[in-house]
Amino acid sequence: MCPLWPLHLIVLYLLVLGPMWVLCQAAPNLMATYLPTEVEEVHMGDTYYVDVNVTGAGLRPGARLQVNVRDEHVAETKWNSSYQITESDVSEGKFKGRLRIIGNFLGRTILSLESISVGDTIEPVNGTLAVTVTRPQRVIDTIFTTSIAIFISIVFINFGCAMHWDEVKGVVRRPIGPIIGLCGQFVFMPLISFGLGYLIFPSSPSLHLGMFCTGVAPGGGASNIWTFILGGNLDLSLTMTSISTLAAFGFMPLWLFTLGQVVFANASIVVPYSRIAMFVIGLIVPLIIGLAMQKFTPRLSAFMVRILKPFSSCILIFIIVFAIVTNLYIFELFSWQILLAGMGIPWLGYISGYLVAWIFRQPHPDALAISIETGIQNTGIAIFLLRYALPQPEADITTGNHYLLYIFVPVACAIMTPIPMTAIFIYQKLSACIKNRTKQKKDVDVPETVESGVQPAANGK
């Protein structure tokens, strides 16, 4: 038996506590407190002021306090007061200063302090400050959304003038096209977006949610414009858009509260019924106005139909250019994964829609309308849904090695959506030009042959 028993237990405790006491003495004993304790919202380009108090026995006269920002791309800081510790601060046991925080870009970052003594001895200061940088609501954004709403309403009035009610009735009586489009819109698109989300963003459930919300959205109004410009069945396209938007009241909650919970169980998903209802009203009312113009003002209706194609083309160009100009800042954070996601959803929708329509032997104009209706999503509803599901900046960003916008998925989808349609439109125009030139050349060659007195040979002789 140990002769020190039970005193050996006390000796062992002292041996353990000794090194711990030495480590505690070596640990930093400066503490920073901030007022406010968290900067919850700084707009990009704006400045925010924070009061800083540093206390502790480690205050050294002549030492300076240096601010470290975890991600200077998100925010930068400058002292709005002296940042050097004075004899007065040491005697009071507290340093008081004011910090200026400038929001640079969307995201979250953490600020911390270090005390650098005269001999360049660095002591970390306990206590950090969380900073969130968000996007301001700008006048140009309001102008853009308002102008788009007005122009699209005018386009749909033109569509109402160009609609053939008898053909719409025929589509409803034999709803092969709408059924294919509905299955593609609310079965294939949600499933493909769910699968692609896991494939492209395996470690980012938030971006996966952004992709899934894009996939479950109903068809977009741009599908009708592209269908008309490319020579598809406009009546079928308008019918499918109306049915798709109405069906979204049931299908969106079904997908969001089933697979949506698998993607991101912590999201406060709110189905944007009011947003969908506004889109329904914005679709149906202009069409009714256009149909009324067909009946009561046939001359004006005919004029609206004549200007429909150039007007629709100008609207598409305006939307694409204005959207890029007003949102140039988001391209800084685009990645190949985001671009791949933006291509995957609409382009696979185009291919699958056309193939299924071809299998069911639909004519080319109908197959083209089905393809476009399947591939084009209402990204506005998807963005609206994400903003309610996740608070800012979570609705815009996710943390990781880089900051990525949540809304990048629907935005990238909106950017990549018109590329195949534009390529087809350019091909159609070039093909038409070549055919016209060939026809004109033949028309010119035939009279020249006759005038020269040379008669075409008969029966190859």
pLDDT digits (tens, 9 = 90+) for 314-330: 888 887 788 777 777 77
- What's the pLDDT score for residue 264? 66
- In the structure encoding, which two tokens stand for residue 420, read together? 């195949």
- What's the pLDDT score for residue 367? 93
> How many Cα atoms sit within 13 Å of 197 on the Cβ side?
27
> How many Cα atoms sit within 13 Å of 179 on the Cβ side?
8
| CA gap 243, 219 in Å, rounded | 10
Q: What is the mean pLDDT of residues 151-174?
A: 84
Q: Is residue 395 over pLDDT 50?
A: no
Q: Is residue 408 over pLDDT 80?
A: no
| The model's pTM | 0.70
Q: Identify the top-confidence range among 123-127, 167-171, 453-457.
A: 123-127
Q: What is the mean pLDDT of residues 169-176?
A: 84
Radius of gyration in angstroms for the set of CA atoms belonging to the chain, rounded to a whole number: 33
Q: What is the mean pLDDT of residues 431-454?
A: 68
pLDDT, tens digit, for every residue of 71-84?
A: 888 899 989 887 88
Q: Counting Cβ atoms within 10 Å, is residue 351 exposed (0-12), middle (13-18) or buried (19+)?
A: middle
Longest Cα–Cα distance in the chain: 138
What is the percent of the chain where pLDDT is above 90? Answer: 14
Judge contact between 219 and 245, C-beta under 8 A: yes
- What's the pLDDT score for residue 388? 61
Given phi > 0 = left and psi -120 to 50 = alpha, else beta, which region is 57? Answer: alpha
Higher pLDDT, 171 or 343: 343
Query: Helix (H, G, I), strand (E, B), or coil: what is residue 51?
Result: strand
Q: What is the mean pLDDT of residues 141-167?
A: 83
Q: Is residue 460 over pLDDT 50?
A: no
Q: Is residue 393 over pLDDT 60?
A: no
Q: Is residue 43 over pLDDT 70?
A: yes
Confidence class of residue 369 from pLDDT cuts 50, 70 and 90? very high
Confidence class of residue 453 from pLDDT cuts 50, 70 and 90? low
What is the percent of the chain where pLDDT is above 70? Answer: 83
- What's the pLDDT score for residue 363? 92
Dihedral sign, Cα of residue 395, residue 399, residue 405, residue 407? negative
Judge contact between 39 and 48, C-beta under 8 A: yes
The residue type of 111 is L
Q: What is the mean pLDDT of residues 227-251?
A: 88
Confidence class of residue 368 from pLDDT cuts 50, 70 and 90? very high
- What's the pLDDT score for residue 265? 62
- What's the pLDDT score for residue 20? 52
pLDDT, tens digit, for every residue of 65-123?
A: 999 998 888 899 989 887 888 888 888 889 999 999 998 887 788 999 998 887 777 88
* Average pLDDT score over the chain: 80
For 55, phi then psi, to 5°, come to -125, 165
Confidence class of residue 347 from pLDDT cuts 50, 70 and 90? very high
Would you tell me how many other CB atoms lie within 10 Å of the CB of residue 218? 26
- What's the pLDDT score for residue 207? 78
Query: Helix (H, G, I), strand (E, B), or coil: what is residue 16?
Result: helix
Q: Is residue 26 over pLDDT 80?
A: no
CA-based angle 236:238:243, to the nearest 5? Answer: 95
The residue type of 5 is W
Q: Is residue 458 over pLDDT 90?
A: no
